[in-house]
Amino acid sequence: MKVKIIVKGTEGQETRNVDIAASGASLGEVCKAAGISTKDKDFTVDGKPATLDTHVGKNMPVEVSARPQGS
């Protein structure tokens, strides 16, 4: 299964594509496979708020974002 991950940081945005052997995986497993740090991040799966336990299935885009807090 191919998963598209959009990573938004304070200095840039990038898209990563990762291959997952199974037909589904948890968001935590997907991020680990893509080499993305999950510390203090905000997640969505298929456009909905998610946690590291959220199931990621086929054709479900993932977004990982830093958390801005400035004014």
Partner 1 sequence: MGVPKLTVWDDDDVSEHNIPMSAYRLEKDLMRAKVEALREIVKEATGLLIDIRKERYAGQEPLAGPVVACVDTMEARQAVWRSVRMNTDVDILIDTRTAEKLLWVFSVSPCDHEDAAYYDRHVSYGTKQAAPHMCGQHGWMPMSYRAAGLVAENLTTWWMSGIKVLHHKEYVASPVTAQEAP
> Is 15 one of the binding residues for partner 1 (CB under 8 A)?
no
Binding status of residue 71 toward partner 1 by CB under 8 A? yes
Q: Does 52 bind partner 1 (CB under 8 A)?
A: no
CB 28, min distance to partner 1, A? 17
φ/ψ of 17, rounded to 5, equals -115, 130
69 touches partner 1 (CB under 8 A): yes
For β-strands 13-19 and 2-8, DSSP reports them as antiparallel
The sign of the CA dihedral 67, 64, 53, 28 is negative
* Binding residue for partner 1, selected from 15, 22, 59, 68, defined by CB under 8 A: 68
